[in-house]
Structure 1
Amino acid sequence: MLPFSNPDPKACLVGRIWRPGLGPALVTLRGGSVFDITAREAPTLSDLLEREDAAEYVTHAKGKEVCSLADLAAASTEDAGPDTLRFLAPPDLQAIKASGVTFAESMVERVIEEQAAGDADRAEDIRARVKTAIGDSLHGIEPGSAKAIEVKRVLQAEGLWSPYLEVGIGPDAEVFTKCQPMAAVGWGAAVGLHPISTWNNPEPEIVLAINSRGQIMGATLGNDVNLRDVEGRSALLLGKAKDNNASCAVGPFLRLFDGHYGMAQVENAELTLKVTGEDGFVLDGHSSMNKISRRPADIVAQTIGRHHQYPDGFFLFLGTLFAPIQDRDTPGQGFTHKMGDIVTISEPGLGALQNTVRLSTEAPEWRFGTGQLMRNLTARGLL
C-alpha cells in the first residue's frame, strides 16, 4: 500500500528520507512527488520546527524533485540497505517521548496486565475481578479530580490499585523516553520486539512534534510497540520493555499545523489498525482521540517547561485506546505478535504507517546517530 492513497492537497507535509550517496534529506510531498527541501535555512527537521513560519516555509520552498511517492514506498522495505532510497522517521535531533495510560477505557487492560504479572493464563480471572470493582471503563473521570480520588480510595480498599491507575486518573501524567533521537524507524522498515518477550502488541498512536519553546507544530502517526509480559512483570522494567532496537515507528510524514489542520483535528482523529499475519490471522482495531482522558496540550505542558527543557524539541506519543484481547491461537491467551506480521496504522489526515514485525536482534542495527548527522551535514555545506 501507499503512505497516502489520496493525500489532502491542502496538507503541508514534511518528512525525511535517505538519498543514496548523499544521506538524510528533508522532504515535502507535492501531489505524487517527493521534493528535497534541505537547505542551510533548515538543514534538519528540528531547525525547521524552530521557525514560526514552518508551514509557510515548506509550502514555498522550491526544492528538487527526487522521486515519486510510489517509488519511495516501493524502495522502503525492511531489507533496504544502509545507502538505499527509503523513508526515515520524520524526527532527527528531537527526543522521542511517550505518554502512557492516557485513555481511561484502556486502563482496565493495563491493570490486568500488571496483576497478571506477564502471565496470559491469569488474565481472564483478573479481568472479571477488575470489572466487578470498576466496570468496563473509567471513561469520563478527569484525572486528579475529586471523583478520581474517590475511585482511587475504592480500588485501594479492593486491593486493586496499581501504578497504571495512579498515572491514569491521578494528577501526574506518565511520560517516558521511548528511544534516542533518530532511533525510531520510518515507513516500511522492520519494527522490533525484544527476543525475551512472548506477549506483545502494536500501539497505534498520534505523535505530536513540539519545538524547544513548547509549541506544538504538527502531528504524525506512531507505533509505540508494547511488550506486555515484560512491563507486566514490573513497572520498573518499562525502560527494557520500551527502548530497544527498532522499538517504535513514526511517520510517514509530519503534517504541520496551519490554517487547514491543527489541534482540533488531532483531538478528533480516528485511528485504525490492521495486523495481517503470515498465518492468515487478521486483527482490526481502532483508537478514538476524542476519548483521551488528558488533553494533549496538558501532557505537553507536563513534559516541557521550567522544570524540563528540550533544546532540539521532542516528539510525543499520546497513548492509545487500543487494547488487544482477541485470541490469536489459544482461547483466553489473547493476541500476541508473530514474526512477519504487517502492521498498518491509518488516519485520513495523516496517511498510513506500515511496518513489518521482527525481533529487535534481527532488525537492522541503528548506526546513524547525532555525530554522523552533524558530520554529514557539514560535509554537504549545510552547517
Structure 2
Amino acid sequence: MSLTFDPADALGSEWRAGRWLGRIDRGDGPSPVLVVDGIVHDMVRVAPTVAELVAQGAFDPAQGEAIGALDAIGLSVDGDVRLLSPIDLQCVKASGVTFAVSAMERVIEEQARGDASAAADVRARLEGRIGGSMRAVVPGSPEAAALKQALIDEGLWSQYLEVAIGPDAEIFTKSPVLSTVGWGAEVGIRSDSSWNNPEPEVVLLVDPAGRAVGATLGNDVNLRDFEGRSALLLGKAKDNNASCSLGAFVRLFDDDFTMDDVRGAEISLRIEGTDGYTLDGASSMNQISRDPEELVRQSLSEHHYPDGFVLFLGTLFAPTQDRDVPGQGFTHKVGDTVAIATPRLGRLVNAVTTSKAAAPWTFGLSALIRNLAARGLLSA
C-alpha cells in the first residue's frame, strides 16, 4: 500500500488550528517535531526525543527550527522526509474491557474457547442474560457487586466481567518501547491466527507526572482466537511485530481541544479488503464504562513512568458480521486496509499483513542512542 500524506485527511480539517506533536526522519534519524499553525518545527535541538520534549513541557515552537508547511515538506512513509510513529521512549499501555459490548465479546471468546464457529451460539445465550445489566452498572459500585454475585450464582461469571464491572480496570503493556508503527505503515497479525480484528481507539499521551497532555488515534490489533483460548495468552494476542499503530501526530490539549473532546469522540472504522469486502463500524467514547482520567489513574497505580506513557482507552467495536463462513464472524485477510477516524484527530490508515511479513523492527534503544550520539544530541 502506497499512500500520499495529506494533512487534511490524516489530521482532519483542523490541522492548521490544532497543535500537533510527532516524529519525522529527514535523513539523519528521528526528530521530534511540533506542528503549529500548519508549520513544522524540528525540536531535536531542544529535546532529542518526544519523551524528553513532553517531560520538559517544551511546546514552544519558537525554540525549534521551522522547516516548512506540513503540506509542502513532502512528508511520506518512505520518502526523503519520513513520517514515523509519534512516540518514542514512552511505555505503551492499554486498557481492556472498558465498554459493555467489548466485555460481552471477551466473555464470548472465553466461552467459545477461541473457536469462531462457536461464537454465535454463545453470543445468543449470553446477550439476553447480562447485556442490559452490564450497560447499566457503574464499575466498582454496590450495584456492580450485586450483579457479580447474581452472575456467580447463575454460573455466568468470568474474569473479563471482573475487570468490566469490578473496582480494578484491566491495564496491560501492549508493546515494547520504540516498536509502534505509524500512519501509512503495515500492521501485522500473527500468521497462525484465524480469528482477529482491529481495535480502533483513542490513545492518550501522558507525561511523567501522570498528566494527559494530548491524544491520537490507535489500532490495538487483537487476536481473538489466542486470547479466547486463555487469558494467559494475552501477550501473544497483543504483542507481535507491527501489531500496534499510532498517529499520524498527537494532538496536544489546549483551550480548544480538551479531555472533554476525548470523552465525546465518535470514532469510525472502515475495513476494505482486496476481495471487495467492506465493513463499517463505530465506537462512541461516551459509552465508556470508566472515565479516561480514571484509567490514567489506574495505569499509574503504584508505579513510575520517567519517560511517560501512552494509554489505549479501549474500544466499543467488536465485529460480529460474517465475512466468509456463516456463523464464523469477521477476521482479517492480508491486504485489508483499515481506516480509523474521528473529526478532531483525523484518520489513521494502515494495511494489514502478517507479523512475519511486516518490516522487521530493528531500530531499538541501542540504535536510537547510537544515532543521537552520532548527531551530537546527547549531553551529560
Q: Does the alignment pair 1:364 with 2:375?
A: no
CA RMSD of aligned residues (A): 1.8
Aligned to 1:7: 14
Aligned ranges 1:79-90 → 2 under 5 Å: 80=78, 85-90=81-86
Contact 1:36/1:66 (CA < 8 Å) preserved in 2? Answer: no
Question: Is the Cα–Cα contact under 8 Å of residues 12 and 344 in structure 2 kept in the other structure?
Answer: no
Distance 1:355 1:70, change over 3 A: farther
1:43 has 2:45 as partner: no
Give the one of 174, 177, 181 matched to 2:173.
177
Give the Cα separation in 2 of the matches to 1:254 and 1:121: 39
Partner of 2:341: 346
Q: In structure 1, how many angstroms separate the alpha carbons of the residues matched to 2:377 and 2:107?
A: 49
Structure 2 vs 1, CA of residues 361 and 71 (structure 1 numbering), >3 Å: closer, same or farther?
farther
Partner of residue 332 from structure 2, selected from 332, 337, 341: 337
User: Contact 2:269 / 2:338 at 8 angstroms: preserved in 1?
Assistant: yes
Listed as ranges, the matches of 1:73-152 within 5 Å are 75-76=76-77, 80=78, 85-136=81-132, 138-152=134-148
SS in 2 for 1:139: helix
CA distance in 1: counterparts of 2:74 and 2:361, whole angstroms? 21
Secondary structure, counterpart of 2:128 in structure 1:
helix
Shift of 1:67: 6.9
Give the aligned partner of residue 225 of structure 1. Answer: 221
| 1:18-33 correspondence runs (5 A) | 18-20=25-27, 22-30=28-36
Aligned pair partner of 2:317 in 303, 319, 322: 322
1:29–1:364 CA distance, 2 compared to 1 (3 A) = same
Residues 214 and 304, structure 1, Cα contact 8 Å, conserved in 2:
yes
Q: Which residue in the other structure is 1:245 paired with?
A: 241
2:11 is aligned with what amino acid? F
After TM superposition, give the deviation of residue 51 of structure 1 in Å.
2.5
Counterpart code for 2:52: D
Q: Do the aligned partners of 1:133 and 1:158 also contact (CA within 8 Å) in 2? A: no
Matched letter for residue 353 of structure 1: L
**2:12/2:343 contact within 8 Å kept:** no
Cα 1:269/1:70, change in 2 over 3 Å: farther
Partner of 1:208: 204
1:161 alignment counterpart: 157
Instruction: Tell me the secondary structure at the aligned position of residue 6 of structure 1.
Output: coil
Question: Deviation at 1:66?
Answer: 5.7
Partners in 2 of 1:135 and 1:369 — Cα distance? 43
Task: Tell me the alpha carbon deviations over residues 44-63 of structure 1, each in whole angstroms, 9 at most, x when there is no partner.
Answer: 111111124x44x24x3442
Q: How far did 1:177 drift?
A: 0.7
Deviation at 1:65, TM superposition (A): 1.7
| 2:376 maps to which of 370, 373, 381 | 381
Aligned counterpart in structure 2 of residue 194 of structure 1, from 182, 187, 190:
190
Q: Hey, what's the Cα distance between the residues in 2 that align with 1:108 and 1:255?
A: 32
Cα displacement (A) at 1:145: 0.7
Alpha-carbon spacing, 1:160–1:69, altered in 2? closer, same or farther (3 Å): farther
SS at match of 1:363: coil
Can you list the C-alpha shifts for 1:334-354, whole angstroms capped at 9, x where unaligned? 110000000011111111110
Q: Which runs of 5+ in 2 are unaligned?
A: none
Q: State the 1:256 CA deviation.
A: 0.9
Quote how far apart the aligned CAs of 1:90 are. 1.0
Q: Distance in 2 between matches of 1:67 and 1:194?
A: 38
Give 1:174's aligned amino acid.
E
C-alpha deviation, 1:109, in angstroms: 1.4
Aligned pairs, number:
371
Q: Which amino acid aligns with 1:141?
A: V
Alpha-carbon contact 1:271-1:286 (below 8 Å) kept: yes
| CA contact 1:16–1:25 (8 Å) conserved in 2 | yes
User: Deviation of residue 137 (structure 1)?
Assistant: 6.3
Quick one: distance in 2 between partners of 1:249 and 1:33? 24
Normalised by the length of structure 2, the TM-score is: 0.93
Amino acid paired to 1:303 = S
Q: 1:292 corresponds to which residue?
A: 288
Residue aligned with 2:136, SS: coil
